[in-house]
């Protein structure tokens, strides 16, 4: 799932990777919201909150939202620069290495969560989660050739609507590609929702330590590709 890039990837590979990472993103998003009162993956909402704060004079809301957006963008920048550097150096399975790093960072955040401030506003935990979501989205966008995004559900819902319109307009002889993309987008959206529900349950049982489990999922996902890359090296 984290080896082949762009056109060489099958729809099944994109489906498996997209659903797994979308479920993790949904869990992280909900866990972050319950812990610090802000969404780590919902940049549209954070920009809207920043705009509202600017008008209503909520300086703290503006700063928190701006910090989350900056953290998300920084994560995307770091992931992209790391991918390019790895490609220049001929390092194999760079996408898997970044997902592995994200998983380890989630485990670390879960372990120290009890020592970090929670409640309204954001801090190390909120900004850290935003950074990791930016890393994940950039990595998946790069490896899939922008066919899959796992934190950006607004875009996925838009794509779903476009494909539905094409399917409804030509149901008698619908293109297999349209049907396949419908399945891909619908499955990723459903995985994000189910992952969010699992994150809410996990937070109810273990608090922010539920991030440990989400991180372990990413580590297990990336580990086979990372090991294969080391063998090639």
Q: What does the pLDDT read at residue 231?
A: 64
Low-confidence ranges of the chain (pLDDT < 70): 1-9, 117-122, 171-174, 229, 231-233
Q: What does the pLDDT read at residue 210?
A: 95
Q: What does the pLDDT read at residue 97?
A: 92
Q: What does the pLDDT read at residue 142?
A: 86
For the stretch 59-68, contacts whose Cβ atoms lie closer than 8 Å and that sit 24 or more positions apart, written own/partner, are 60/121, 64/38, 64/121, 64/122, 64/126, 65/38, 67/122, 67/126, 67/127, 67/130, 68/38, 68/39, 68/40, 68/43, 68/122, 68/126, 68/127, 68/130
Tokens of 7: 């056109």
* Domains of the chain with bracketed CATH: 9-41+70-232 (1.20.1250)
Q: What does the pLDDT read at residue 24?
A: 96
- Whole-prediction pTM: 0.89
Q: What does the pLDDT read at residue 69?
A: 94
């Amino acid at each position: 799932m984290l080896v082949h890039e762009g056109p060489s990837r099958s729809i099944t590979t994109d489906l498996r990777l997209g659903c797994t990472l979308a479920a993790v993103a949904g869990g992280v998003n909900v866990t972050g919201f319950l812990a610090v009162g802000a969404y780590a993956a919902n940049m549209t909402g954070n920009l809207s909150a920043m705009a509202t704060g600017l008008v209503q004079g909520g300086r703290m809301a503006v700063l928190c939202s701006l910090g989350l957006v900056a953290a998300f963008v920084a994560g995307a920048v770091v992931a992209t620069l790391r991918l390019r550097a790895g490609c220049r150096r001929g390092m194999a399975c760079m996408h898997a290495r970044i997902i592995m790093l994200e998983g380890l960072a989630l485990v670390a955040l879960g372990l120290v969560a009890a020592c970090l401030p929670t409640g309204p506003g954001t801090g190390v935990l909120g900004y850290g989660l935003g950074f990791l979501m930016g890393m994940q989205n950039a990595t998946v966008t790069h490896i899939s050739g922008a066919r899959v995004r796992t934190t950006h559900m607004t875009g996925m819902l838009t794509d779903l609507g476009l494909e539905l319109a094409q399917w409804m307009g030509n149901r008698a002889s619908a293109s297999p590609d349209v049907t396949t993309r419908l399945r891909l987008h619908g499955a990723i959206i459903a995985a994000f929702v189910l992952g969010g529900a699992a994150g809410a349950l996990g937070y109810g049982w273990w608090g922010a330590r539920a991030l440990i489990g989400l991180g372990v999922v990413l580590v297990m996902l990336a580990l086979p590709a990372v090991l294969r890359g080391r063998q090639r090296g």
